Structure 1
Amino acid sequence: MQNWIYILLIILGVYMFISVMLYVLQDYFLFKPEKLPKDFQFYYNNQEIEEYNIDTRDGEVINGLRFKTENPKGVVFYLKGNSKSIKGWGKFAVDFTRHGFDVIMVDYRGFGKSTGRRTQKAVKRDMQVIYNKIKEKVPEKYIILYGRSMGSGFAAKLASMNNPRMLILDAPYYSLSKVAKKYIPFMPLSLLIKFPMPTYKWLKYVNCPIHIIHGTDDRLIPYKTSVKLSKIKPELTKLYTVIGGGHKNLNNFESYHKMLTEIITTRPKKANLEGSSFHVKHASKRANAKA
């Protein structure tokens, strides 16, 4: 009996140790920030940029870039993924500026030149501050929210609290808790994870058009995740499938660029269902037999 108690205590101790380490080290696993010196100069070929710093209410600084166009049709607030800094992510701004849209990109706390300790609450608050700054100069009907991977959750949260023209989610997750549970199903993640990021909950309160883009060969966040998300607000959502697309290479597919062009340049039209087969039901076998 004593041996079983001893073994049980060891197992419990190991479990508690893993739990503590998971809580302490999860920032290291979730985020891969690139720090930039304060005097770093951003430069992009054939792109006009403006750098800015926004002071937060807790005394930190959020650094960002505006990619400028002449006579912009609107603004894309691009919320990037969990790695590097806007130094590298800035190259994707051209996918919107070439269509006449300004692009705003920011580095989350601890990324690039941005300062501060990351928490889910703090980052959500920071993104709302940036959104408010954009809204001061641009009516919301001209603001597009674009969330990429990690940024998809923050973009969904912003859309749920505001009224942008549309929300675009690129390789989104259902929730980070669900993603983590896939790899460590035996841990109490609801208690341990600092960034649960429940995208599926926030989407319930989004009232603008929702466009979801996902690759079928995404091994980090499976394609079926977007299928599930698309069912939350089906009347507002359109799912775009990049056949063969992975998690980090959608920009290398021509189909992705065709989809993006369609999304941001086409005005939505309500389908005229008069005279269509809408609501027409197939006859049952029994009905056919009687006939």
Structure 2
Amino acid sequence: MGRHYWQRSTLLLLLAALLSGCTGIFFYPMSPWVQNPARQGLDYEDIILLHPDGLRLHGWWLPAQTEEVAGTVYFLHGNAQNISTHLMNVAWLPARGYQVFLLDYRGYGLSEGKPRLPEAMADIQLGLDWLRASGRVQGPLVVFGQSLGASMTIPVLAADKGQAPDCAMFEAGFTSFRGITTDIMRRSWLLWPFSFVVAPTIPRQWDAADHIAALSPMPLLILHSRDDSIIPFREGEALYAAAAQPKQFQALLGEHIAAGRDESVRDRLVRFMEDACGAQSLPEPAG
């Protein structure tokens, strides 16, 4: 989930992008699992969603470990690997009273198909629709997107016609698919000459910066690490500037989408869900 995943995906898919402007350049999926929630002492349920186009999508449902449920979190992961490698970003939430739904986009883990835009965004919408229809949501519904997951989820929520989630948290998101492609390619002496050819083929209609203001009055928490070597800190600042009130910004330290390993950051997320989203305040777990 570090810099090499973005670079490898860009290198492997560069030819396809040059030939067709393929949005698959943003995805680097992995099928095998590294672990499952049971290895982390978590109860879980496999969730299978059937997309209207016939694909089967897979996710995990993590029930809260407390008698009362503080809220429900819908988690959308970044561009690399699958939910088994991103699990630790939310594995702490059940102990704090939150039930969590993690979804693998098409092509990731056990989810069928090939990831592209906007099809992966349709997968995000399918997961949201399932949550609403499932009867499982307790407490406020919180959407938590990281990196590519954040930037794809913003236009999905802006276009969504259902009852809006109670709030959203976006970590390490970027403002523009074309802009981040240019930025990443120009960091490499091998790729930068091609950036002038590839970047103009990337569609602009799903850029998060153009849609995030439409989420108002949904409370937003935007987080970004000053040390992020994948998505520059200025991207988080620009995303925050484009958002409408009510909104909060939290600067972080540490690697890309790694700050959640810090207990103080976890406390910050819980405070936001309690204060801005209406989540129930529960006693902190012992130990």
TM tier relative to shorter chain: 0.7 to 0.9
Aligned to 1:143: 141
Aligned to 1:282: none
Aligned to 2:175: 174
Contact 2:46 2:60 in 1 (8 A): yes
1:121 aligns with 2:118: yes
Indicate which of 181, 186, 197 corresponds to 1:187. Answer: 197
How far, CA to CA, are the matches of 1:43 and 1:266 in structure 2? 31
Relative contact order higher in (CA < 8 Å, ≥ 6 apart): 2
How far, CA to CA, are the matches of 1:42 and 1:98 in structure 2? 13
Contact 1:56 1:62 in 2 (8 A): yes
Aligned to 1:229: 239
Q: After TM superposition, give the deviation of residue 252 of structure 1 in Å.
A: 3.5
SS in 2 for 1:57: coil
Aligned to 2:154: 156
How far, CA to CA, are the matches of 1:56 and 1:91 in structure 2? 27
The amino acid that maps onto 2:31 is: K
1:20–1:260 distance in 2 versus 1, CA, 3 Å? closer
Q: After TM superposition, give the deviation of residue 36 of structure 1 in Å.
A: 3.2
Q: After TM superposition, give the deviation of residue 107 of structure 1 in Å.
A: 0.8
Q: TM-score, normalised by structure 2?
A: 0.77
Matches within 5 A, 1:71-110: 71-110=68-107
The C-alpha deviation readout for 1:165-187, integer Å capped at 9, x for no partner, is 10100111111211112224522
C-alpha RMSD of the superposition: 2.7
1:33 aligns with 2:34: no
Contact 1:119 1:194 in 2 (8 A): no
Q: After TM superposition, give the deviation of residue 197 of structure 1 in Å.
A: 4.1
Give the structure with higher Rg (CA).
1
Aligned to 1:273: none
How far, CA to CA, are the matches of 2:16 and 2:29 in structure 1? 22
Contact 1:141 1:165 in 2 (8 A): no
Aligned to 1:133: 130
The C-alpha deviation readout for 1:70-122, integer Å capped at 9, x for no partner, is 43222100000111111222222223212211100011111100001222122
Indicate which of 44, 62, 70 corresponds to 1:49. Answer: 44
How far, CA to CA, are the matches of 2:19 and 2:97 in structure 1? 44
The C-alpha deviation readout for 1:209-259, integer Å capped at 9, x for no partner, is 0100111111211111111111123422110011x3221421243442232
The amino acid that maps onto 2:38 is: Y
The amino acid that maps onto 1:152 is: A
How far, CA to CA, are the matches of 1:139 and 1:158 in structure 2? 19
How far, CA to CA, are the matches of 1:65 and 1:51 in structure 2? 5
Indicate which of 259, 263, 271 corresponds to 1:250. Answer: 259
Segments of 5+ residues of structure 2 without an aligned counterpart are: 1-13, 187-191, 279-287
SS in 1 for 2:92: helix
How far, CA to CA, are the matches of 1:234 and 1:41 in structure 2? 38
Aligned to 1:9: none
Aligned to 1:217: 227
Contact 1:23 1:193 in 2 (8 A): no
Aligned to 2:275: 266
Q: TM-score, normalised by structure 1?
A: 0.76
1:130–1:252 distance in 2 versus 1, CA, 3 Å? closer
How far, CA to CA, are the matches of 1:126 and 1:19 in structure 2? 26
The amino acid that maps onto 1:49 is: Y
How far, CA to CA, are the matches of 2:19 and 2:75 in structure 1? 29
Q: After TM superposition, give the deviation of residue 188 of structure 1 in Å.
A: 5.3
Aligned to 2:4: none
How far, CA to CA, are the matches of 1:147 and 1:113 in structure 2? 20
